[in-house]
Amino acid sequence: KAGVTQTPRYLIKTRGQQVTLSCSPISGHRSVSWYQQTPGQGLQFLFEYFSETQRNKGNFPGRFSGRQFSNSRSEMNVSTLELGDSALYLCASSLQPGGGGNQPQHFGDGTRLSIL
């Protein structure tokens, strides 16, 4: 069974640009969550999508947005990039929302975004 696939693996952008990251969940998983990992803050929840609807959002500015398609694939967009947006962006999928219970979230290998 294929795992969670994130593209691209690495990305370099400059301040002010915008970026779109892609995530293909495990087949059959309808929930996709996004996390930002930085050395200082660890893994922080960005938002979660289930059946094309955003269920909840973490404490990030409106520059961070996302969407989910009917095939459960998800994209995350960051506009007006800042130096502090440099991070590893991780996508996780699960059968049901939330990532807890008996249906834990399974993570992709992430997209390493560097802002120059």
Partner 1 sequence: DQQVKQNSPSLSVQEGRISILNCDYTNSMFDYFLWYKKYPAEGPTFLISISSIKDKNEDGRFTVFLNKSAKHLSLHIVPSQPGDSAVYFCAASPYSGGGADGLTFGKGTHLIIQP
Give contact residues for partner 1 (rule: CB under 8 A): 4, 6, 31, 33, 35, 41-45, 47-48, 55-56, 58, 90, 92, 96-110
CB of 71 to partner 1, least distance (A): 21
Cβ closest to partner 1, residue 6 vs residue 81? 6
Residues 6+ apart with CB under 8 A from 33: 45, 46, 47, 48, 49, 91, 92, 93, 94, 99, 105
CB of 58 to partner 1, least distance (A): 7
CB of 104 to partner 1, least distance (A): 4
Cα separation, 115 vs 16, in Å, equals: 9
Q: Are 87 and 70 in contact (CB under 8 A)?
A: no
Cβ closest to partner 1, residue 75 vs residue 107? 107
Three state DSSP letters for 31-60 = EEEEEEEECCCEEEEEEEEECCEEEEECCC
CB of 13 to partner 1, least distance (A): 20
Cβ closest to partner 1, residue 79 vs residue 103? 103
Cβ closest to partner 1, residue 27 vs residue 80? 27
